[in-house]
């Protein structure tokens, strides 16, 4: 299982060492960075390189808006807890440029046509970081891929709707 950047690593493993994998789950991933992903990454790298220190509460609120669905944002009690967690677990600014540079993926879709292992591509309906259509494109590029879209969750869909994600993954792994 790989989500977002972890999915990129999983896909590259499927190309480089397919014998190590029998099947793979890929959540919130794409085969090439689009204009929004490229711009978000460049903006975050520029901010990290500027040396500006963002207060934890600002970082938490920004992460919530970027990664959670409207459904989660409208759950007042749950949101308060999530904001507290996001405030305490903000990203380490020194790691941001290296990670974000990896998110700007050139078009790897032609390469992913060589993946032979069964894959489940999971998109999250309200994901603003990797919207569902790039995940659909990814699934279409991998010959043995199935696609599912989990409603009512954002980029952190596995945290927002764990039962739905687990059901999809268990169904895939049991198949």
Q: According to the model, what pLDDT value does residue 104 have?
A: 75
Largest CA distance in the chain: 49
Mean pLDDT, residues 147-156: 97
Closest CA to 143 of 122, 123, 119: 119
CATH number at residue 159: 3.40.50.1820
Averaged over 30-56, what is the pLDDT? 88
Total number of domains constituting the chain: 1
What beta strand segments (E) does the chain contain? Answer: 2-3, 24-27, 119-124, 145-150
pLDDT in tens, 105-150: 789 999 999 999 999 999 999 999 999 999 999 999 999 999 999 9
pLDDT average, residue stretch 54-69? 92
Give the single-character DSSP code of 166. Answer: H
| Host domain of residue 40 | 2-174
First to last CA, the chain: 16
Mean predicted lDDT score pLDDT of the chain: 91
Which residues are marked as active site? 4, 127, 155
**Could you tell me which residue, 104 or 64, shows the higher pLDDT?**
64
pTM score over 0.95:
no
Name residue, tokens 């949101």: 79
């Amino acid at each position: 299982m790989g989500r977002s950047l972890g999915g990129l690593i999983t896909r590259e493993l499927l190309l480089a060492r397919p014998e190590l994998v029998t099947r793979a789950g890929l959540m919130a991933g794409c085969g090439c960075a689009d204009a929004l992903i490229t711009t978000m990454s460049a903006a975050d790298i520029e901010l990290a390189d500027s040396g500006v220190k963002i207060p934890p509460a600002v970082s938490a609120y920004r992460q919530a808006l970027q990664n959670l669905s409207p459904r989660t944002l409208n759950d007042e009690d749950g949101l308060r807890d999530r904001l507290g967690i996001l405030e305490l677990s903000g990203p380490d600014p020194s790691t941001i440029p290296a990670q974000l540079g990896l998110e700007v993926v050139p078009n790897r879709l032609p390469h992913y046509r060589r993946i032979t292992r069964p894959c489940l591509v999971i998109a999250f309906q309200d994901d603003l970081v990797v919207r569902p259509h790039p995940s659909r494109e990814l699934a279409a590029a991998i010959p043995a891929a199935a696609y599912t879209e989990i409603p009512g969750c954002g980029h952190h869909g596995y945290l927002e709707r764990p039962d739905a994600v687990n059901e999809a993954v268990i169904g895939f792994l049991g198949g």
